[in-house]
């Protein structure tokens, strides 16, 4: 008979249970981080409104409410800036510049708004014209920076496949070189490597088929080196040099 009082054996967690536990912990950390960020963003709104209503009450004229509204608009745009900035490799530069524009606008709008709130003029004309003028200048600057960032990101996306071609080709040829032992053949493969490495990074749609052919020849060269077939290596290297020169020559015709 089985003793019901015997100590229970510790059950090892299954892979699914372990994965599920890890995901729950990661989600919990993410939620905590998001909550802290939200609290941080709300601090200004809470503090400003406490001071505004405790010190000034709820009865205000139009110029005060206009300034109050523009201050909150400026802060909202500051928070929204990272979300409207396109992510790219240049985002660190352009993203900082765009955020700086929003930060400058918020700082000026806050100081100007507080001044108008303290003056509490019966006429709202001055407050409206000043705040509207600053918002207009900010909008022009922000949109200009966003357009520049979009243009730069698009250029990066177009260049990425072109960069990948040269990068992949040189990396593969470097591996091939490490496996070649014969000095004469190694010099021939080195010529191919140097030709690819010195090739223009910028490409053109009309040479895509040549680049595909070059990659195919590189893999054929790799197979020949692994099989130690000298004649096949020499043939692949010669074909590669011819294809690389053809690509580079056509790119020159396209002024690239």
Q: Taking a C-beta distance cutoff of 8 angstroms, is the pair 99, 79 a contact? A: no
Q: Using 50, 70 and 90 to split pLDDT, how confident is the model at 163?
A: low
The pLDDT score that the predictor gives to residue 170 is: 87
- Residue 17 belongs to some domain of the structure: no
The pLDDT score that the predictor gives to residue 15 is: 44
Q: Using 50, 70 and 90 to split pLDDT, how confident is the model at 115?
A: very high
Once rounded to an integer, what is the mean pLDDT over residues 94-101? Answer: 79
Is residue 146 located within the same domain as residue 64?
yes
Please tell me which of 34-38, 85-89, 177-181, 234-238 the model is most confident about, judged by mean pLDDT.
Answer: 234-238
Q: Taking a C-beta distance cutoff of 8 angstroms, is the pair 56, 117 a contact? A: yes
Once rounded to an integer, what is the mean pLDDT over residues 139-147? Answer: 91
Is residue 125 located within the same domain as residue 215?
no
Is residue 92 located within the same domain as residue 144?
yes
Once rounded to an integer, what is the mean pLDDT over residues 203-219? Answer: 86
- Residue 171 belongs to some domain of the structure: no
How crowded is residue 204: how many other Cβ atoms within 10 Å of its Cβ? 17
Is residue 215 located within the same domain as residue 127?
no
How far is the first Cα of the chain from the last one, in angstroms, to the nearest whole number? 86
| Domain final residue pick, 91, 123, 157 | 157
Distance (Å, rounded) from C-alpha 176 to C-alpha 61? 78
Q: Taking a C-beta distance cutoff of 8 angstroms, is the pair 189, 180 a contact? A: yes
The pLDDT score that the predictor gives to residue 4 is: 47
Closest CA to 205 of 252, 251, 244, 149: 251
- Residue 6 belongs to some domain of the structure: no
Is residue 94 located within the same domain as residue 131?
yes
Query: Which token pair is 183?
Result: 């000095």
- Residue 7 belongs to some domain of the structure: no
Q: Taking a C-beta distance cutoff of 8 angstroms, is the pair 102, 146 a contact? A: no
The pLDDT score that the predictor gives to residue 2 is: 43
Q: How many domains does the chain have?
A: 2
Once rounded to an integer, what is the mean pLDDT over residues 69-80? Answer: 94
Among the ranges given (119-133, 142-156, 158-172), the one the predictor scored with the smallest mean pLDDT: 158-172
- Residue 77 belongs to some domain of the structure: yes
Q: Using 50, 70 and 90 to split pLDDT, how confident is the model at 58?
A: confident
Q: Using 50, 70 and 90 to split pLDDT, how confident is the model at 120?
A: confident
Distance (Å, rounded) from C-alpha 238 to C-alpha 189? 9
């Amino acid at each position: 008979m089985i003793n019901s009082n015997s100590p229970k054996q510790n059950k090892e967690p299954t892979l699914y249970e372990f994965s599920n536990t890890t995901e729950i912990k990661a989600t919990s950390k993410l939620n905590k981080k998001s909550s802290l960020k939200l609290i941080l963003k709300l601090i200004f709104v809470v503090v400003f409104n406490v001071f505004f209503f405790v010190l000034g009450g709820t009865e205000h004229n139009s110029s005060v409410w206009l300034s109050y509204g523009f201050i909150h608009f400026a802060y909202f745009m500051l928070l929204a800036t990272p979300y409207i900035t396109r992510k790219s490799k240049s985002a660190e530069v352009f993203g900082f510049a765009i955020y700086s524009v929003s930060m400058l606008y918020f700082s000026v709008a806050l100081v100007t708004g507080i001044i108008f709130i303290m003056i509490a003029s019966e006429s709202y004309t001055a407050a409206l014209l000043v705040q509207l003028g600053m918002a207009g200048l900010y909008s022009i600057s922000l949109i200009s920076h966003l357009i520049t960032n979009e243009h730069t990101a698009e250029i990066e996306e177009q260049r990425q496949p072109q960069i990948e071609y040269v990068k992949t080709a040189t990396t593969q040829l470097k591996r091939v070189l490490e496996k070649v032992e014969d000095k004469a053949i190694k010099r021939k493969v080195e010529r191919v490597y140097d030709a690819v490495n010195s090739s223009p990074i910028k490409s053109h749609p009309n040479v895509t088929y040549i680049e595909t052919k070059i990659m195919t020849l590189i893999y054929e060269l790799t197979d020949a080196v692994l099989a130690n077939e000298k004649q096949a290596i020499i043939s692949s290297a010669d074909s590669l040099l011819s294809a690389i020169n053809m690509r580079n020559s056509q790119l020159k015709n396209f002024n690239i």
